[in-house]
Amino acid sequence: MQLTSVELRHITMPLRSPFTTSFGTEEEKIALLVRVAGELRTPTGTVEVTGWGECVAMAEPVYSAEYLTGAHEVLRRFLLPAFFRAEEVTAETCAALGAGVVGHPMAKAALEMAVLDAELTGRGVSLAEYLGAQRRRVPSGVSVGIQPSVATLIDVVADYLEQGYARIKLKIQPGWDVEPVRAVRARFGDIPLQVDANAAYTLADADLLRRLDDFGLLLVEQPLAHDDLRQHAELAQLLRTPICLDESITSVRAAADAIALRATRVINIKPGRVGGYLEARRIHDLCRAHGVPVWCGGMLETGLGRAANVALAAMPGCTLPGDVSGSDRFYARDLTEPVVMRGGSVEVPQAPGLGRIPLPDRLAEFSTSVETVRR
Ligand code: NPG
C-alpha cells in the first residue's frame, strides 16, 4: 500500500485498580494509537484502507528505554517521513523502512501493526490466519501486581481463580518474594503459578532465588537486568526453576543468543518489545525449532493490542498460558468491544485484521490529543 496519512493519538484510560511492579505503580493506562490511511492495490483495483496500531511504550522509561512522547517524536520526525517516501509499504517491508532508525522497537511495532491491520483488513484476512495460529481459544493467564499485604494478595488471587484464570503470575521484588509465593501455594495448592521479577535482582541474590525452587513454579521471569545474559546463564545453573526471559529478548538475534548461552529455558514474546508481530513470529519459529516453549506477554494493552496478542498466543509454539487476560482484568470499559475470558480461556478473533476497532464514543472519550501527519 501507499501511505497517505497517519494519525498519532494519545489516550488515557482509567484502570480498575492500580498495577504495581518492581518498576512502579500504574494508576491509569496512557497509550499512543497509530492510525494509518492509504491506498492498497488489490487484484481488482485500488482500495482505500485504514489500520490501527497500539504503541506499548509507557509514559516513563521504567520498563525499557522507550517512553511514550519519545515514541511519538520518533514516529513523527524519523519513521513517518521514511514511510511516506516509499512507493510501496507492506508489513514485510516495515522493518527495512525503519532500519535507518536505531532502536525504538515499540514505535516501530505500532506502525507495523497499523500497516498490517490495514493490509489484512483490505484483503479480508485475520491476524490469526496470517500468523498461522492454530487454535480457536487460548488459555488465559493473569498477572497479579505487588500487593500491600499477603492477606490482600490471597483475596486477589482467590478472585482470579474464582473467575477461572488458567495460570497465576505473581510480581515479585526484593522483600516481596518467598513469603507471598509460600502463602499462595499454601492456600491454593498445586495451581499453575509463576513469578516475574522485572529485573529486580542481581546474581548476589542467587541463594534467595533458589528458595523459590521449593514451590514448583512454572518459571521465574527476568530475575536479572535486561543486559545480563551471561549472568542469567550462571543463575540458570543454580536454580531448578526454569528461567524465562522477557526484557532481555529484544529481537530474534537476542533470543538466539539467550538460547545458545543457556540463559533461558522459556521465552516471553511481546510484539512491542521486539519491534512488531513479524519479529514476534520469527522468535516463535526459532524457539519452536529449538524446543523452547514460548508464551505471549502483555503490557496492559487496550482491546486493540489485546486482541492481536490473542492471535499470537494461538500459534502452535505458544505452549504456556500467556498474559492474555480478559479486558475486564484492567478496564471496566475497554476502548474496543472487550476481549472476554470465559472458563479460563479467550476466543481468538477471526475477523479481518486485528479483530477489534476502537468504539467511536470510547475513542472520543479517552483521547487527549491527535496529530495528523500527511504524506
Ligand atoms: O496482562 O497486560 C497484562 C500485564 C502483564 O505483568 C504484565 N506485564 O512486566 O510483563 C510485565 C508487565 C508489564 C506491564 C510490563 C506494563 C510493562 C508495562
pLDDT tens, position by position, 126-182: 999 999 999 999 999 999 999 999 999 999 999 999 999 999 999 999 999 999 999
- Phi-psi region at 86: left, alpha or beta (left = phi > 0; alpha = psi -120 to 50): beta
Percentage of the chain with pLDDT > 90? 99
Distance 304 CA to ligand 1 centre (A): 16
**Three-point CA angle 33, 315, 141, nearest 5°:** 70
The Cα 113–Cα 276 span in angstroms is 7
Given this model, what pLDDT does residue 42 score? 87
Q: Is 203 exposed, middle or buried (0-12, 13-18, 19+ CB in 10 A)?
A: middle
> Which neighbouring-strand residues pair with 14?
28
Output the residue whose Cα is nearest ligand 1's atom 6: 143
* Sign of the dihedral through C-alpha 13, 327, 136, 268: positive
Mutate to test the pocket of ligand 1, among 13, 19, 21 (most ligand atoms within 8 A of CB): 21
Atom of ligand 1 nearest to the CA of 142: 1
Q: What residue ranges of the chain have pLDDT lower than 50?
A: none
Atom of ligand 1 nearest to the CA of 300: 2
Distance 122 CA to ligand 1 centre (A): 31
Which cell numbers hold the place of 302?
A: 487496550
Distance 298 CA to ligand 1 centre (A): 5
Output the residue whose Cα is nearest ligand 1's atom 14: 299
The Cα 31–Cα 16 span in angstroms is 16
Output the residue whose Cα is nearest ligand 1's atom 15: 299
Cα 177 to Cα 92, 126, 181, 210: the distances in Å are: 42, 40, 6, 11
The Cα 145–Cα 239 span in angstroms is 24
By 3-state DSSP, what share of the chain in percent is helix, strand and coil, each rounded to 5? 40, 25, 35
Contact 258, 267 (CB under 8 A): yes
The Cα 71–Cα 108 span in angstroms is 9
Distance 142 CA to ligand 1 centre (A): 10
Question: Could you give the dihedral angle defined by the CA atoms of residues 242, 246, 250 and 253, in that order, rounded to the nearest 10 degrees?
Answer: 10
Contact 200, 221 (CB under 8 A): no
Contact 311, 355 (CB under 8 A): yes
- The answer for residues whose C-beta is within 8 angstroms of residue 159's C-beta and 6 or more apart is none
- What letters, b where the CB count within 10 A reaches 16 and e where it falls short, cover 265-284? bbbbbbbbbbbbbbbbbbbb
The 10s digit of each residue's pLDDT in 347-365 is 999 999 999 999 999 999 9
> Which neighbouring-strand residues pair with 357?
none
Atom of ligand 1 nearest to the CA of 196: 9
> Which neighbouring-strand residues pair with 245?
267
